[in-house]
Amino acid sequence: MKLMKSAALAAAMALVAAGASADTLKIAVIDPFSGPFGPSGDAALKEWTFAADMINAKGGIVGQEIEVIGYDNKVNPKESLVQLQKALDKGARYIAQGNGSAVASALIDAISKHNKRNPGDEVMFLNYAAVDPSFTNDRCMFYHFRFDADADMKMAAVTDWIKDQDDIKSVYIIGQDYSFGKAVAASAVSDLEAKRPDIEIVGNELHPLGKVKDFTPYVQKIIASGADAMITGNWGADMVLLVKAAISSGFEGPILTYYGGSLGAAVAMGESAVGQVKAIVEGNTNLETTPEQNAYIEAFEAAYPDNNYYYHRIHNAMNMFKMAAEKAGSTTPKDVAFALEGLEYESPYGKITMRADNHQLLQPMFVSTFSDNVKRGVEDLPLGWVAGDEDRIEAEATALETTCNMERPAK
């Protein structure tokens, strides 16, 4: 009798669980929402939520409403796997993550294992910012799609810009000590060697991830080395504190960053960084664009007054996801993944394409400059990011060769 009772209870609970997961299309965002990288993850979660709200307002995806759920992983790969399991148990089959390639690497392994063991119940990984190039090369996976340019593509853009700056004779590379920082440094060295062999690399340094509170000693070293420009892939607090120290210690050359637009950076940099700090991005809020996009940006900033529209790639990811699901007529990860391959989307800043061979998005990139002459400022300041026509790099020009040998499941 007792056994019967518990069996019935279990069946009832399973029904409830199944009922809950059938209602909405869950996207689990596994990112840091606390600690030194909290602001980065939090800003991204808000943009995922907002993008989902906009789509839900127009009837959702194939009739299903999207639900975005955040899982705090504290940028820790082990913690991320715990959170992944929680998300899967809740019925999420779409995982979004961006902060930290170490985390993305752990997630790719775990998801690929899950997909092998559970045919018919696959999970898809929407990577919006983890840019270790290996994810779309040696380690490419059918269920992984990257909506941000990888570290090599960004470095190619940065070095293309440096190539034309004749007054830059020496460069200092500084980054975070983990796979991503190393990838940035390696591609900076090889790209500069190919494009400007006369440039001397006067420093190539890695610092511990998220541990340094005062970058002044590092900056002093950079200034003493006589570098004309600085290249950094830093993000989160590491980016803000590095630039803050560089500006207050009077570093005068251009600071080429991947993530200069991170939340909190503008306040820390202030007026003195104008014209000096550059960021390689897929869009900024001062670019010429469609009225719909301007309205979207304004609606986002009205909904979240503490944040600025920054992760345009999340907007792209959500819209391409919707297109793919509608093309496939299904929200099953396998169908969506096949539909995403080679998908083209007219984004507000030009046409973007999801490469079929390695699942890397090709999109126009912009070398944006921190400026005090802007229509739309960031963080309640009269300062923001601008890019002219000469700073635009076309989508096709960012494509690099891939070593990916994609294994596709049977349709």
Partner 1 sequence: METFVPSLLNGVIYGLLLFMLSSGLTLIFSMMGVLNFAHASFYMLGAYFAYTITQSTNFWFALILAPILAGLVGAGVEKWGLRKVHANGHVAELLFTFGLAYLIDEIVKIIWGRNAVNYRIPEALDFTIFRLYGSDYPAYRIFMLFVAISMLVALWFLLKKTRAGLIIQAALTHPHMVGHLGHNVPRIFMTVFGAGCALAGLAGVIGGNYLVTEPSMAVLMGPIVFVVVVVGGMGSLEGAFIASILLGLLQTLAISVDTTFGEIFGFLGLSGTSEVGSISIASLAPMIPFLMLVLILMIRPRGLMGDREF
**Measured from the CB of residue 375, what is the shortest distance to partner 1 in angstroms?**
24
Tokens of 389: 């026509």
Strands 392-393 and 384-386: unpaired
Q: What number of other Cβ atoms are within 10 A of residue 338's Cβ?
A: 19
Rounded least distance, CB 376 to partner 1, Å: 20
Q: Tell me the C-alpha to C-alpha distance, in Å, between residue 52 and each of 39, 45, 47, 319.
A: 20, 11, 8, 9
Question: In this complex, which beta carbon is closest to partner 1, that of residue 116 or of residue 211?
Answer: 211
CB of 211 to partner 1, least distance (A): 6
Burial class of residue 19 (count of CB atoms within 10 Å of its CB; 0-12, 13-18, 19+): exposed
Q: Which is nearer to partner 1, 225 or 330 (CB)?
A: 225
270 in Cβ contact with 371 (< 8 Å): no
Could you tell me the smallest distance in angstroms from the CB atom of residue 310 to partner 1? 15
Question: Which of residues 220 and 403 has its CB atom nearest to partner 1 in the complex?
Answer: 220
DSSP 360: B
Phi/psi zone of residue 270: left (φ > 0), alpha (ψ -120 to 50 degrees), beta? left
Q: In whole angstroms, give the CA distance from residue 146 to residue 402.
A: 14
Q: Return the number of the residue (224 or 295) whose C-beta is nearest partner 1.
A: 224
Give whichever of 47 and 122 is closer to partner 1, judged by the CB atom. 47
Q: Give 141 or 222: the residue with its C-beta nearer to partner 1.
A: 222
Q: Which helix (H) or strand (E) segment is 312 a member of? A: helix 312-328
8 Å CB contact between 355 and 342: yes
Give the integer Cα–Cα distance in Å for 302 and 376.
13
Q: Which is nearer to partner 1, 213 or 375 (CB)?
A: 213
CB of 304 to partner 1, least distance (A): 14
- Per CB under 8 A, residues contacting partner 1 are 33-36, 38-39, 42, 177, 203, 205-208, 211-214, 216-221, 223-224, 237, 241, 248-251, 264, 267
CB 260 within 8 A of CB 279: yes
Smallest distance, Å, CB 39 to partner 1?
5
CB of 319 to partner 1, least distance (A): 28
Q: Are 149 and 183 in contact (CB under 8 A)?
A: no
**Cα–chain center distance at 88:** 22
